[in-house]
Structure 1
Amino acid sequence: MIFRANALLLVLAAILPGPARAHEGHAHPPVPAQAVFPAERLSPPDLPVTDRFGTTKGFVSRYAEAPMLVVSFTYASCGTVCPLSNAVLAEVQDELTAAGARIVSLSIDPARDTPALMSVSAEQFGAGPSWEWVAGSVPDTRLLMTAFGVPVGPPEAHVPTILVGSLSSGEFTRVVGIPDPASLLAIAGAPAR
């Protein structure tokens, strides 16, 4: 079943009781309001990542030709902030794709996120061909997260982060918190609805 973003947001708002939610025995940090930071230069290494179809290729090699990337940091078993961020991406994926962007959901829990689990998540959110779900090895994922300026730690303690930019220029805008769909489209240069 494909989740529609607005319906999912309403359901999650109704069932998740407050800002700090329990997840696998850990309290998730409060979900911050969206904060957008000025563009920064980032240079991720070309470490191997495997997509939900089982194809492995270097991260940079895989996306070097993409005019724009929208990179999210997620994991399949997340029951708190990841579904919220993924719902927003699902809501705007057609506009982002039309603007030439590729959406990349990079697993921050590669020890558990198999291609099969990533496929389930991708299908739940109606990921089209321009929305890829990838995972690296545990050490490579840590290096990629560090290169992208995303704190490494327990997956359940992560703060939602999306980067919008280009590997060719190295310029990325950081969005921390649950992104506003209109704001995300504006950052990506996609036409407003």
Structure 2
Amino acid sequence: MKNIALKVIGLTALAASLTGCIGSNAVTSKVMKFNVEVVDNRYARAGVNFLLAPVYGITTAADYVLFNSLEFWTGSNPLNGNPHIFDSKVDTKYKINDDLAPSLTDAPIDELSNRTIQTGEMHKIDDNTIQMDIVYNNGDTATLTGVKSGEQVSYYMDGELVSQTTISELEAASSAQS
């Protein structure tokens, strides 16, 4: 029980720390600044950069896991005080206007129904045909039929062709799941 609780706490902490990992990467920026300021020769800077490669890995991890998440959730980076990158004022490509008429904020399509299969009964019609009678959670019904013709299998939903496959593709998918 203790082991499960530790796993749940660990996964929760991991999930929380990985949310909002886009930020200014302040720790990595400080290392980059040091890299540029330590010597004035570009070749020497490249050498310092090579030597600091493991440090960059650590600082990037610290930025992603801790500091960028703090920056995202608090609105400013705790190391440099800059506002979060998503709060920056820039010339945007798509401007969202809060003053739109309500008729323009709804999509002109019917809402999607989230129906799920409540029951499904399989029946063998003959050696080449199977049928599933489906009842959805909202009471709707449907019939799914699979018809084998040689190597080809065609699937029909309420008499309308919806998909086709081959026996070898079905066997490959079945063995991949095993």
TM-score interval (norm. to shorter): under 0.3
- Tell me which structure has the larger Cα radius of gyration: 2
Higher helix fraction: Structure 1 or Structure 2?
2
TM-score by length of 1: 0.16
| Larger relative contact order, structure 1 or 2 (CA cutoff 8 Å, min sep 6) | 1
TM-score by length of 2: 0.17
